[in-house]
Structure 1
Amino acid sequence: MSVTELLAPSSEAELSELVADHFARSAPLRITGGGTRTQNPGPGAALSLARLPGVVTYSPGEMTLVARAGTPLAEIMEMLAAEGQSLAFEPPDLRGISGSDGVPTIGGMVAANASGPRRLLAGACRDHLLGVRFVDGQGRILKNGGRVMKNVTGLDLSKLMAGAQGTLGVLTEVSMKTLPLPDRRATLAFPGVDAAAAVTIFSTALATPFEVSGAAWQDGTAFLRIEGLGPQLDYRSDRLLALFPGHRPELLDQPESDRLWRGLRDASAFAGSPAPLWRILCRPTEAPALSARLTALGGQLALDWGGGLIWYHGPGEVAQVRAIARHATLIRRGGLTGPAFPPETGPVAQISQGLRRRFDPAGILNPGLMDG
C-alpha cells in the first residue's frame, strides 16, 4: 500500500469496515481531516472524511447543532450567522500559516480542540461539545453524549476526543452548543508596550467583571476586546480606560476590531513564510520570561489568551525551543524534523498511553503523532 494513497469512505459503515480491516492487518492510517492544521508526516494511507459532510440537525431555539465530521466549517459558520448565532470559541482558520489549500472541517476542529481568542471568556471547543460519534481503532462505532445539553451524562468521552488529534478514534459526527453573536464589538489598543507590559495590562483587565473577550499582543501593541449590547459596551469601555491612566489607548471601531481579531485568530502575521512556527502554551505569568528567551533566538512572536498562548516564528532547533518552552507544538515545520507535539511525561503519559491502548490497541490511528 502506497503511503500516498487517499482513502475516502462515503458512509460511517464503510469507514468502520475500512478501519477494522486495517486493525486486522496492523496497517497504519493518517487521518487528514481537511488537511489544514498540524502537519502529519507519519506512515500509512491518508484517511479523509470529505465524503461524510452535512448538517444532521440544527435547532436555533435550543442552540444545538449536529453535523457530520466532514462538513466544511465555513458552511457551518454561515448557517449559524444567518440565525444570529456562532461557535463562541472562535475556531481559527490556519490555512494561511500552514500553506494548505484544504478545507477546514468541523471534525478537524474538534479533533484539534481548535479555539481562538474568545477562549478567554467562552472556553475552549471541548467546553461546547455535547456529544460525538466515532469509529475506534478496532472499527467499532461508538457514541457518547447527547444532542441537547440535558442529555450529557456519564463518562464524557467527547472531552477526550477533543484535542486527541485522531489518535483515539475517527470522528464521524459531532454535537455542538451554539450561542448568540455579540451585538457590538470594540477593541482598546495600547501601542508601544513590550510583552511584559502587555501581560500586566491583561492581568489587570481580566481581574475585572467587565468580560474581556480577547487579550492579545502583537508588534508592540496590546489589545483588549469587549463585546455586548451598546450601552453596556460603552460603560465597560469607559471603566477599562479608567484602569490605565498611564496609557493612551486607541478605541478601534467595530469593522477595524473585527479585522484585527480575525488576523489574530488565524495568526495571519506569520502567513506566507517558510520559517518554522510554534504554538506554545504556558501560564500567563511565565509569558514575559519565555518571550524574552524566545526572542533571543532571533525570531518574532505574538501573545494571545492573555499571555497563555505564544506564537513563535523563527530560528531554533526542536530541542532548543522545547528547552525554553516545554509545551511547544510545531505547527509549521519549515525544514525541522522531529515530533510536532511535545513529549508527555509522568502520570499524563501513563494515562494517555492507557487510553490509546483501550481505543486503538494496534496503534494504527495517526501513529507517532502525539508520542513526542
Structure 2
Amino acid sequence: MTPTSEEELSEIIAGSNGPLRIKGGGTRPIGKTDGADLSLAGMSGITLYEPGALTIVAKAGTPVAEIEAKLAKENQRLAFEPMDHRALLGTKGEPTIGGVVSANVSGPRRISVGACRDFMLGIQMVDGAGNIVKNGGRVMKNVTGYDLVKLMTGAYGTLGVLTEVSMKVLPDVAAQAMLVLDGLDDTQAVAAMSAALSSPYEVTGVAHDPQKAKTLFRLEGFPDSIAYRAEALTKHLAKFGAAETIDDTENVKMAWADIRDVRGFAGQDGDVWRISAKPSDTPGLVAKVGAKAVQYDWGGGLIWALTDTGRDIRGSLGEFDGHATLIRGDAVPTFHPEPARLASISAGLREKFDPRGILNPGLMN
C-alpha cells in the first residue's frame, strides 16, 4: 500500500484489519515487526522552504538527498548530520526525512548542535485510529499537554504515521579541518576527547578508532577561525601527543561521512550494536563486550560494536547507565529492555495513540 495523501492514508489505517509495517525509503530495516507494508514513498515533496526563517517543511516520503540539495543552494544544511545506513546494512533505496525523524537519526555533530529532535518544529501524522493530527508549527515555542513533535521523533512509527515534518535548518560552514592524535588507547582517547569538548574551541566532532589508534577532532567555520582554533587546540591537547592538522575540507568531509555512516563495518560479517553510555564508562563497557571491532563517536558517548552473529551482548554489559540497540542482526530483541516504570508509560502512550496495536507492532517492545 502506497497512499498519496493524508486522507488516503487515514482511510487505510482506519479500515485496516491487521498490523501494518511502516516503511519509508527501505534503507533501515531495523527490528522485527509483522504486517502488511505501508509505504510513505507516495507522499513526497518539499511544501515550504523559507531560507530567511531557517525553516523547511517536507512530506515524510521526501528523500533526504532532495532536501539537502535544496538547502545547499542557499548555503544551508541539516546541522544534525543524519546518518545514511545503506553501507552498514547493505540496503538500497533512498533515505527519507520521515524515516530520519521517526528514528531520531543524528550524526557526529550531535555533541555540538543537538539531535534531530532538537530541530523539530512541527509534525502532521495519522494515528492508529485513522485520525489526522497536527502539532507544533514553524517556530520554536512552548506547549502544554503532549509535545507530539518530540514524542513522535524517535517513536519508530509505533504511535502514528508521520506525513509531514517542519524543521529548523542552519547555515552551512565555509570550511572544515580536523586534528588527528595517534597511538592513544581507549581510556586515553576518551580523556582527550573530553578535554577537547570542554575547551572553548568549538569542536563539532570527536571520534576514536581503536583499530587504527587514531583520535579525531573536527573544527568548522571560517578558515581564519579554524586556523586559530586548531593551533590553540593542539596546545590544549599537547599532553596526549603531537596532533596532526588536516585542513583539506573535502577530505575532512569524506572522513567524517565514513564515521557518521560507520562504513568501516560495511561488508564485514557479524552483528552491529549501537551502545549509548557515559563517556567515562565506555572503555570499560568495550572491554566487557569482546567485540571484533569498535568505533567511538560523540566524544566516547556512543560506541559502535561489531560482534559475532547471534550474541546478546547485554548480558556481558550488565547494568549500566545507558542502552544497547541491535542495529544489524535479528537473533535478539532490537531495543534495550526499558525499566518497569518507563515501560508502563510507553505502553500507556501506545494504548492512547494506537489502541488496536496495529502500527509496527512489537517493534520497540
Q: TM-score range by the shorter chain?
A: over 0.9
Whole-angstrom CA distance in 1 between matches of 2:41 and 2:224: 44
Give the equivalent residue in structure 1 for 2:334: 340
Q: Does 1:351 align with 2:342?
A: no
Which residue, 235, 259, 271 being the options, matches 1:242? 235
Please report how far the alpha carbon of residue 42 of structure 1 lies from its aligned counterpart in structure 2 after TM superposition.
Answer: 1.7
Please report how far the alpha carbon of residue 298 of structure 1 lies from its aligned counterpart in structure 2 after TM superposition.
Answer: 4.5
Please report how far the alpha carbon of residue 256 of structure 1 lies from its aligned counterpart in structure 2 after TM superposition.
Answer: 1.7
Amino acid corresponding to residue 91 of structure 1 in structure 2:
P
Whole-angstrom CA distance in 2 between matches of 1:80 and 1:215: 25
Q: Aligned with 1:327: secondary structure?
A: strand
Q: Aligned with 1:292: secondary structure?
A: helix
Q: Aligned with 2:167: secondary structure?
A: strand
Which residue, 298, 323, 327 being the options, matches 1:327? 323
Cα contact 1:168–1:359 (8 A) shared by 2: yes
Give the equivalent residue in structure 2 for 1:12: 6
Which ranges of structure 1 fall in alignment gaps of 5 or more residues?
1-6
Cα contact 1:322–1:328 (8 A) shared by 2: no
Whole-angstrom CA distance in 2 between matches of 1:19 and 1:138: 7
Give the equivalent residue in structure 2 for 1:233: 226
1:1-372 maps to which residues of 2 (within 5 A)?
A: 7-22=1-16, 25=17, 27-149=18-140, 153-154=143-144, 155-218=146-209, 219-246=212-239, 247-253=241-247, 254-294=249-289, 297-315=290-308, 317-324=310-317, 327-333=323-329, 336-371=330-365
Amino acid corresponding to residue 252 of structure 1 in structure 2:
I
Please report how far the alpha carbon of residue 85 of structure 1 lies from its aligned counterpart in structure 2 after TM superposition.
Answer: 0.2
Cα contact 2:310–2:332 (8 A) shared by 1: no
Please report how far the alpha carbon of residue 228 of structure 1 lies from its aligned counterpart in structure 2 after TM superposition.
Answer: 1.2
Per mean C-alpha deviation after superposition, the further-off stretch among 226-235 and 105-114 is 226-235
Whole-angstrom CA distance in 2 between matches of 1:256 and 1:321: 36
Which ranges of structure 2 fall in alignment gaps of 5 or more residues?
none
Please report how far the alpha carbon of residue 346 of structure 1 lies from its aligned counterpart in structure 2 after TM superposition.
Answer: 2.4
Amino acid corresponding to residue 229 of structure 2 in structure 1:
R
Cα contact 2:195–2:237 (8 A) shared by 1: no
Cα contact 2:273–2:324 (8 A) shared by 1: yes
Q: TM-score, normalised by structure 1?
A: 0.93
Please report how far the alpha carbon of residue 316 of structure 1 lies from its aligned counterpart in structure 2 after TM superposition.
Answer: 6.1
Whole-angstrom CA distance in 2 between matches of 1:92 and 1:35: 14
Please report how far the alpha carbon of residue 318 of structure 1 lies from its aligned counterpart in structure 2 after TM superposition.
Answer: 4.2
Q: Aligned with 2:296: secondary structure?
A: strand
Please report how far the alpha carbon of residue 230 of structure 1 lies from its aligned counterpart in structure 2 after TM superposition.
Answer: 2.1
CA-atom RMSD, angstroms?
1.4
For 1:129-155, what per-residue CA distance to the aligned partner results, in whole angstroms no more than 9, with x for missing partners?
0000000011100010002335x6434
Q: Aligned with 2:176: secondary structure?
A: strand
Identity over aligned residues, as a percent?
A: 49
Cα distance, 1:262–1:317 mapped onto 2, change above 3 Å: same
